[in-house]
Structure 1
Amino acid sequence: MTLATGMGALLWRRPGLRSAALLSLPALWFLLFYLAALAAMFVSSLHTVDELSGQIQPGWTLDNFRQLMTGWTYGRIALRTVGIAAAVTITDALLAWPFAYVMARHAGPRLRAVLMALVMLPLWSSYLARVYAWRLILAHDGALNWALHGLGLPGASIGYSNWAMWIVFSYLWLPFMILPLFASLERIPPSLLEASSDLGAAEWRSFRRVIVPLALPGLVAGSIFTFSLTLGDYITPLLVGGPGSDFIGNVVYVNVGVSNNIPFAAAFALLPLLVMAGYLLVARRMGAFDAL
């Protein structure tokens, strides 16, 4: 018996060992390149930068965290980031519901394929191309104001503002909300709706008591994408945001690439990780991972 044959027989008799062998390489990758990177970032946040030489001074201090909690400058940036991420998530949820519902419950195979193509089509183009397109639309002399002036209405004047970021983010991440919600709605057995109707429930009540609870994990799963992608972005605020529109990512970028204050950037970058950790714990309790 060869070594390969013996190993194959051993793995066949022990399913647990076979699963461990399959997962060993991904687990090693996860430990070395993700958890180790997070640990290195946390350790870096405890270091300082020498004011004269600009060199990083290893140590164990909480000065960077104290600086974050001093005044309202960084607090406002953190609240703006989390607030717009929440607003984008709610907006995409409201926009995705009717689209995903029609796609899953009413559209035929041909119409469903067309609608799915429309959802996926924006993802086939460059992220920067889509952001710059919206920048041209929302600019002072852009397509939006041109259309409003043509109708005899005043200009919107929302370019380079928090409103512009909200609109652009909602457009960018909408497909990531539609797809998991569609998957949840499609998995709802028609027999449940028939049973609800046979028991005398009206269509609206069946939607509220049957469809919404069963599709909620897909909605929460989509919110993980929209919330986390907005929370960690810094390019869209840089391109379409105006004065006072900085996100946490912008502060991290400036401190890494301009100020060379990596310890402070690492300390501030831990905040989105903590926010997302709490968000994922809530999403897990709501069964969101079952819809991924």
Structure 2
Amino acid sequence: MTSLGSYLHRHPRLRLAGLLSAPLLWLVVAYLGALAVLLVSAFWTVNGFTGGVVRRFSLQNFRTLLAEEVYRAVTLRSIGVAAAVTVLCVVLAVPMAFFMAKVASARARHALVIAILTPLWASYLVKAYAWRILLANGGPIDTLLGGPGHGPGYGLPATVIVLSYLWLPYMILPIYAGLERLPDSLLEASADLGARAGRTFRAVVLPMLVPSIFAGSIFTFSLSLGDYIAVQIVGGKTQLIGNLVYANIGAANNLPFAAAIATVPVVIMVIYLFAVRRSGALEEL
């Protein structure tokens, strides 16, 4: 063991490879392996008579996805919902993070960080069903807005609201971290040069926050794109990609087609990651 330790000490790259071998093996087998199986099974089909899976290469599932208008509409709707959730989270997160990082005292800052993290400890289903009660016809939101039928009810707006609530902490924390690294001297220099608060925010703060916003958007966009539980609970008749995957796994029992649908958000996120990597967002994660 002493000679082995000495050998590893003289070869730091080999020592690093040994330390990383276990987590890399887990990543390759559990994560990349699952994605590989998903991709391979997307090229299989189901026998219409027996219902068994035919393990023969075929592009039929992807032809159906491209040919059927309903699948294109669901894909565009899912992208729109994910984009709307991301924009809403940015609008809410920027002032909250700025107050935490630049206005609140150190003691209040710690309390606010805990308050933002606390909802993440609660069950996803508890939070989603709590919003179902709030959005119900004749529920608390209807009462506040003037009576039954005046609130958003169940549907696409409710889905955006609930997903924004669920993923908002994932946007606040990267922006807060980015603002903490922003020197106060830059804000003071902008004020000394005569810039008002709005001009300082647009010219100094916002350009430096772009990587942090993109970093947060990776979470909010991807989590919203593949979500189906919130849609099931508050979405009404809304159909998103996650619902289609679940429907084909359950009642339809068409696992290959479900796998083909599931590759859609994976491809979208790969394209999105390539698009934002030049902004430095990946370094903010």
In the TM superposition, 1:208-223 aligns within 5 A as: 208-223=202-217
| 1:53 paired residue number | 50
Amino acid at match of 2:235: G
Amino acid at match of 2:226: G
| 2:86 paired residue number | 89
In the TM superposition, 1:114-263 aligns within 5 A as: 114-149=111-146, 155-243=149-237, 245-263=238-256
Structure-2 separation of matches of 1:252 and 1:80: 15
CA displacement 1:17-37 (0-9 Å, x = unmatched):
222111111111111111121
* 2:67 alignment partner, SS class: coil
CA displacement 1:229-254 (0-9 Å, x = unmatched):
101111011110112x1111111111
Structure-2 separation of matches of 1:86 and 1:75: 17
- Which one is further off, 9-18 or 33-42? 9-18
- 1:209 deviates by 2.1
| 2:74 paired residue number | 77
Amino acid at match of 1:13: R
- 1:154 deviates by 6.8
Structure-2 separation of matches of 1:37 and 1:271: 15
- Which one is further off, 85-94 or 197-206? 197-206
* 1:188 alignment partner, SS class: coil
Structure-1 separation of matches of 2:125 and 2:245: 20
Structure-1 separation of matches of 2:15 and 2:190: 44
Classify 1:119/1:61 alpha carbon distance in 2 versus 1 (closer, same or farther; 3 Å): same
Structure-2 separation of matches of 1:182 and 1:123: 17
| 1:270 paired residue number | 263
Structure-1 separation of matches of 2:40 and 2:270: 19
Give structure 2 stretches of 5+ with no counterpart: none
- 1:197 deviates by 4.1
- 1:13 deviates by 2.3
- 1:117 deviates by 2.2
| 1:25 paired residue number | 22
Structure-1 separation of matches of 2:194 and 2:5: 58
Amino acid at match of 1:247: L
Classify 1:145/1:199 alpha carbon distance in 2 versus 1 (closer, same or farther; 3 Å): closer
Amino acid at match of 2:275: V
Structure-1 separation of matches of 2:4 and 2:201: 53
RMSD: 1.6
Amino acid at match of 2:121: W
Q: TM-score, normalised by structure 2?
A: 0.95
- Which one is further off, 272-281 or 32-41? 32-41
CA displacement 1:154-202 (0-9 Å, x = unmatched):
7324222101101111111111100111001101122333444455544
- Which one is further off, 265-274 or 139-148? 139-148
Amino acid at match of 1:66: R
1:7 aligns with 2:1: no
Amino acid at match of 2:255: I
Amino acid at match of 1:287: G
Amino acid at match of 2:251: V
Matched length: 285
Q: Which runs of 4+ in 1 moved over 6 A?
A: none
Structure-2 separation of matches of 1:195 and 1:112: 24
* 1:59 alignment partner, SS class: coil
- 1:145 deviates by 1.1
- 1:123 deviates by 1.3
Structure-2 separation of matches of 1:235 and 1:253: 10
